[in-house]
Amino acid sequence: MRLTDEERGWLDGTRGPAVRRAMEILAALGEIYDAGRLVPIRSAQLAGVSYANLGAAGLELLEAWARDGRVACPATLNPAGMDLLDWRAQGIPEEFAERQLRIVRAYETMGVRVSCTCTPYLVGNRPAPGEHLAWSESSAVTFANAVLGARTNREGGPSALAAALVGRTPAYGLHLDAARRPQVRVRVEAPLDSAADWGALGVAVGLRAPGRVPWIEGPPPPAEESLMALAAALPTFGGSPLFHLAGATPEAGRWPRPADGFVVGPRELEEAYARLDDGADGIDLVYLGCPHATPQTLRRLARRLEGRRVRVPLWIAAAREVLERAEADGTAAAIRAAGATLVADTCFVVAPLRGRFRRVVTDSAKGCFYARGANAMQVRLAPFEACVEAALHGRAPARRVSVAEPGAADPSRDAAAAPRAARGAGTETERDGGGRGEAAPADRGAPSGGPAGAVADAGPWRGRAIRRGAATGTTLVSPEPLSFYGGVDPVSGRVVERGHPLAGRSLAGRILVLPTGKGSTVGSYALYRMARAGTAPAAIVCAACDTVVAVGAILGEIPCVDGIDIARIPDGRPAAVRGEEVTLLD
């Protein structure tokens, strides 16, 4: 990657230790992903705020950055683990609150605006088409790329902070045209009547076309809240942090319609709903506002609650600035009059709610995923109106379908998409002026490992070193992407995502083999925390390593290599990773 003289000076420490550390991260990413240069960014959105997911290791890291680090561009902050003003009323322990406030002070010291929302585009950080960003928070990244037409990779929290401190980010991946080209056509042949339906669409597409940029046709242009729901669900369930919706998103008309594709009809939506229904008929909490609620959603809720009273807790989360507007126009008072709770600065994805609520109903597919993993709740996905009625009557809404193991899709409906989807997650990219880029599905290997003894040779297989190092251990092979936040317990190192092929298995000390990462951009901090706790994998081998996993491996000093045909690596075999090579040991 070409650096200017000024940038080389920053890397050498002319702007102090924090900027030097930031430049080390950015330079490493630039080299890994063949970026030609750094590009100035309009803004940064920083994930990694809740003490529930950062832990002591993350707090220590942030306070070290804050000693001399100051942001060089506008930067906004993701939700914290509690309402910063009313945390006692939420039942937050004082020890947690003290550490959470230290995290917020560290960001404030660095000049970050304490917006504490996953919807920065609702509180003034709304970029224009074509502007370069360094955003973490997976739903905000996808919304910025798809709906606003801005350009950002799915940054890990630490790499977004590094870019904010420098004011620049490496030009690879979704900053470049080649990675924004649609790769799979999705024809929707089912009515999408609610934001929950659009979230279910994101589940269906993410699971069946992991890492591929979808071009979606069929539904009429929806309200912004529905686009937010799709943007939240798609990357959570393995999809690309970019989609194109015909007639609705700014870049959809720029590209030819892909030839390969599949249909999402009523059956596929029902299967997505069934995946997010744990079958519990009781209800302890109804939660709305994931992503954070818009002013329109708050007014809609106030109208539906008028003259009525909830029977079970109903929480709705929004950015504090949005709630202040609701206070001014009377919307907030109307909601509280019904007994509902307005939540600022946080959400149930990152708040420490484990053990307080067991069964939750929400209109957010993303919220279902993280409520299960991070807070061990039973979930049910339902449309907004059904959620509100559930809170008012104290009964869970009717199931969308009877709960059953989702069946396989009819091969005739997606036969054209299957061969390419099987080659591995990732997006094609180009270096500034030509090059390999972040990941190319055609040459990054297949997303499945065989049983022990299923390979013809023991390697070595040579790939691309993401973080150089050496490690030995027993292989643990996943055929599916993994989210290191919400999908893995960092304390034990065990996979907690329900239904994942590795569910219940420990990553600690293993050679983890997987297609790529998915989901939360806090995963970088989670990997760093696991490395500090001794629960991290000994090494990571990917078909296509995404930025979140790459940054976590760099910070946690975990040997990591990608570009490997992971279909050749069996599960449960002794193996070694050395630099860019992977070898079976017997």
pLDDT at 395 over 80: yes
**Do 473 and 357 contact (CB within 8 A), yes or no?**
no
pLDDT above 70 coverage of the chain, percent: 90
At 287, the pLDDT band (50, 70, 90 cuts) reads very high
Cα(210)–Cα(252) distance, integer angstroms:
19
What was the pLDDT predicted at 447? Answer: 39
Q: Write the pLDDT tens digit of every residue in 7-21.
A: 999 999 999 999 999
Q: Cα(390)–Cα(374) distance, rounded to whole angstroms?
A: 23
Q: Cα dist. 492→368, 424, 527 in Å?
A: 22, 28, 12
The CA distance from 458 to 384, in Å, is 53
Q: Provide the pLDDT for residue 351.
A: 87
Tell me the pLDDT tens digit for each residue of 554-564: 999 999 999 99
Q: Is the pLDDT of residue 415 over 80?
A: no
pLDDT of 466 above 90? yes
CA pair distance 146, 143, nearest whole angstrom:
5
Provide the pLDDT confidence category of residue 576 given band limits of 50, 70 and 90. very high
Q: Tell me the pLDDT band of 402, cut-offs 50, 70 and 90.
A: very low
Mean pLDDT of 325-333: 98
Torsion angle, alpha carbons of 360, 56, 32, 34, to 10? 70
User: Would you say residue 30 has pLDDT above 70?
Assistant: yes
How many CB atoms are closer than 10 A to CB 44? 31
Of residues 136, 161, 162, 155, the one with CA closest to residue 23: 162
Report d(CA 425, CA 443) in Å as an integer: 11
Q: What is the pLDDT of residue 456?
A: 54
Q: What is the mean pLDDT of residues 216-228?
A: 97
Instruction: Name the residue with tokens 């045209």.
Output: 177
Q: Which residue has the higher pLDDT, 498 or 309?
A: 309
Q: What are phi and psi of 384, to 5 degrees?
A: -50, -50
- Check pLDDT > 50 for residue 414: no
pLDDT (mean) for 361-365: 98
For residue 398, the model assigns a pLDDT of: 86
Task: List, in order of start, the domains of the chain with CATH numbers.
Answer: 5-174 (3.30.499), 182-272 (no CATH), 285-393 (3.30.499.10), 444-584 (3.50.30.10)
Predicted local distance difference test score (pLDDT) of residue 401: 57
Query: How close are the terminal C-alpha atoms of the chain, in Å?
Result: 39
Q: Of the given ranges (277-291, 308-322, 392-406, 492-506), which has the lowest mean pLDDT? A: 392-406
pLDDT in tens, 446-465: 334 444 444 558 889 999 99
